[in-house]
Structure 1
Amino acid sequence: MSQLDILMVVLRVAFGAFIPICFIAIGVWMERRGAGFIQDRLGPNRCNIFGFRAGGLVQNLADGVKLIFKEDMIAGHIQHKFYFVLAPVLVFFTALVSFAVIPFADTLILGGKSYIMQTVPLDIGILWFLACTGFAVYGIILAGWSSHNKYGILGGLRSAAQVIAYEIPMGLAIVSLLVVYGTVNLSEIARFQGQLLFGFIPMWGVILQPLGVVIFIVAAFAETNRTPFDFAEGESEIVAGFHIEYSSMKFGMFFLGEYVAMFVSSAIIVTLFFGGYQIPWLATETMVAYAQPIAIVLMLLLPVITYYFTNWIRKNNVSHYNRQNDPLVREANVYIKICWILAAAVELILLTLVVINPSADGVRIFVVLLQMASFLLKATIMCFVYVWVRWTLPRFRYDQLQKLGWQILLPMSLVNIFITSAVVVALS
Structure 2
Amino acid sequence: RAPFDVAEGEPELVAGFHTEYGAMQFGLFYMGEYSHIGINSILVACLFLGGYSVPFVTTETIQSNIGISLAVLCGIFVVAILAFLHLLYRYARWYKKSAASNKQVILREYSLYKILGWAAVVVFAAAGVASALFFHPEFTVIDGQPVYGIGVALGTALIHILVLLVKAIFFCWIWIWVRWTLPRFRYDHVMNLGWKVILNIALINLVVTALIAKLLGGI
Length-normalised TM-score, structure 1? 0.40
In the superposition, relative to structure 1, how do residues 290 and 394 fare at CA in structure 2: closer, same or farther (>3 Å)?
Answer: same
Identity %: 30
**Against the structure 1 CA distance between its residues 256 and 422, is the aligned structure 2 distance closer, same or farther, given a 3 Å change threshold?**
same
The aligned residue for residue 42 of structure 2 is: 267
Residue of structure 2 in register with 1:204 after alignment: none
Deviations 1:85-120 (A, max 9, x none): xxxxxxxxxxxxxxxxxxxxxxxxxxxxxxxxxxxx
Q: Residue 98 of structure 2: which of 312, 318, 321 is its match?
A: 321
1:401 corresponds in structure 2 to 190
2:112 to 334, 341, 347: 334
Distance 1:312 1:414, change over 3 A: closer
SS in 2 for 1:232: coil
SS in 1 for 2:181: coil
1:370 Cα offset (Å) = 1.3
Aligned to 1:295: 70
The answer to whether 1:251 aligns with 2:26 is yes
Query: How many residues in Structure 1 have an aligned counterpart in Structure 2?
Result: 200
Change (3 A) 1:402 1:231: same
Please tell me the residue identity of whatever aligns with 1:386: W
SS at match of 1:279: coil
Q: CA deviation at 1:369?
A: 0.6
- Match of 1:393, as an amino acid? L
Q: Is the 8 A contact 2:6 2:187 kept in 1?
A: yes
Cα distance, 1:322 vs. partner? 4.4
Root-mean-square deviation (CA), in Å? 3.5
2:185 corresponds to 1:381: no
Residues in 1 aligned to 2:136 and 2:198: alpha-carbon distance in whole angstroms: 55
Which residue pairs with 1:284 in the alignment? 59
Supply the distance in 2 between the matched residues of 1:232 and 1:284 (Cα, whole angstroms): 45
CA–CA distance in 2 between the matches of 1:273 and 1:344? Answer: 36
Which runs of no fewer than 5 residues in structure 2 stay unpaired? Answer: 139-148
How far apart are the structure 2 equivalents of 1:418 and 1:384?
26
Q: Which has the higher contact order (CA 8 A, sep 6+)?
A: 2
Output the CA distance in 2 between the equivalents of 1:332 and 1:361: 39
Partner of 1:240: 15
Q: Where do residues 172-183 of structure 1 align in structure 2 (5 Å cutoff)?
A: none
1:355 aligns with 2:134: yes
Q: Residues 277 and 387 of structure 1: is their aligned pair in 2 closer, same or farther, counting only changes over 3 Å?
A: same
The residue type paired with residue 286 of structure 1 is: T
Q: 1-side partners of 2:205 and 2:137: how far apart?
A: 47
Distance 2:74 2:199 in 1: 50
C-alpha displacement of 1:331: 1.3
Q: Is the 8 A contact 1:310 1:336 kept in 2?
A: yes
Pairwise CA distance, 1:345: 3.0
- Please name the residue that 1:120 is paired with: none
1:266 and 1:300 map into 2 onto residues whose CA distance is: 26
Q: Deviation per CA, 1:282-323, whole angstroms, max 9, x where unpaired?
A: 211100111122334445554444323211122135537246
Show CA shifts across 1:38-90 (max 9, x none).
Answer: xxxxxxxxxxxxxxxxxxxxxxxxxxxxxxxxxxxxxxxxxxxxxxxxxxxxx
Q: What amino acid maps onto 2:98 in structure 1?
A: Y
Cα distance, 1:417 vs. partner? 7.6
What is residue 193 of structure 1 aligned with on the other side?
none
Distance 1:302 1:235 in 2: 33
Distance 1:282 1:421, change over 3 A: closer
TM-score normalized by structure 2?
Answer: 0.71
